[in-house]
Structure 1
């Protein structure tokens, strides 16, 4: 039986010895104390498992699971089998929480009768943090979304993120929806199934989650496994067409944007795409769905232009993007609105 108002925090751990103390300490030091922390050592080859056991010895709220490496999805799924709280949160082990995050989110859930609460978050670097405040100010009152609006925002992925972290869930909503194992970007495969069950979704605008940005380059570390993102979006699209038909065009737009991005990344990593097979697959999808994609982007001038250029020849789109980047460098074109730097600090 789930314990009322108790919050279960599931933290998968793998090769994060450098960050684990910052993460776990930020949870243990929360102003809200009715919590349990489930640390899942996913076969980490460093000292993470030993460090997790030390936390268990020091604090009775900590549970530790040791397992052979199965990936992030498997670790989260295993952690969920130990959850006893009315609410559940997921925290990635290189991230950390602001001290009052859980208290704020629990109180907000009760006050607004929300099934899921999402907080704003910092993009946290080693010496500074950034905040996306394009849509809301920290001073704004929380915003409640019904299911229809929630699914729209989830597909667009601006105001409602597909990330599993940064949200407080009523456990009963997610306990029977496992993460898909063996894929990257597992949240994309999972989030829409959860949000389909949600009647009331609350957005809190104060940033209380720190999303750590490692210095790894996406170009240098890119592999065809990153194409799981597109596969997840296509699986979601089938679901959208069946149950949220009015969002079909928005879903196509997201798939097109991501397909164009990944085509360029594959082009920059040609040695990892033997015979250009993955690029050909992307090109084939766009050509096969051209009329649907064209309809979807009719009111988006840049995406409409990119689709037209890509279908003429994929390299035309690459040249177009390079030209736009050059104009921005020369300050002939303005940069798109991005993130605002909110502070400078040396992270512990």
Structure 2
């Protein structure tokens, strides 16, 4: 009886939340938020989303939703871009090999690598009866700091996967044991906006972070940042299993390194650039749909994995990725 009452109570709440796949758009050294126009950027990124992605995406360069012709994401009205640092395995000879990513098994089969993207309102079950405001055109933000030498934010996590459905425990740094299902990185972005600025010099000050661990309800927004926006989260599943039979360090550490040279994980970070078409995201946040129930025009247009996988961009930076002695600089084999 208790479970029936609980289910009935939940049914009376708005459950507007998005969870969807975005297949790989590109893997290259570009970062139009932190290093606009720099070719190449300081380190390698795993990039998904709309094919308007390029080295320079300043607001005056135009709306990605208008410039893009396709997207690697499930929702065909989402031309946003989402990216994070790439993971490498460090061999005993000092060379590095890129760790591939894999799709979440809660999402459609056939997605080419990619990332799981969330836009939640309060938690998995309720929007808390608060108005959720979509991001404005030109909006961008980052989560985490590449220079961090200790835990930077509650919302940045690692999970040692037993399988693709594992979500706990969440760790503050790389797991030190071999993970039979791979390693997941989780990036929860702040969800309180100042309501004025689409960016800030550090790409974070226009936001305020009240995020808790594991999609737990965020705290109230302060007066300085009063506008509640969707809670954006990335889950990236790294297939480290192929390296579990290779030699591991004998000092108790682990062999994985993020592409800016971090083997602890404290500097794990992610970038977001808004690119939803017209009022699509606001319509979704105003609806009562939940996850895949938001697809097929209810209220968002969606596409199949084959269409997502077909969306690609030509690399701006062409370089050898695997086998180099420094993941931050790779092999310096640049072709402009």
Structure with the higher fraction of residues in helix conformation: 1
TM-score > 0.5, shorter chain as reference: no
Q: TM-score range by the shorter chain?
A: under 0.3
Larger Rg: 1
Higher relative contact order (Cα pairs below 8 Å, separated by 6+ residues) = 2
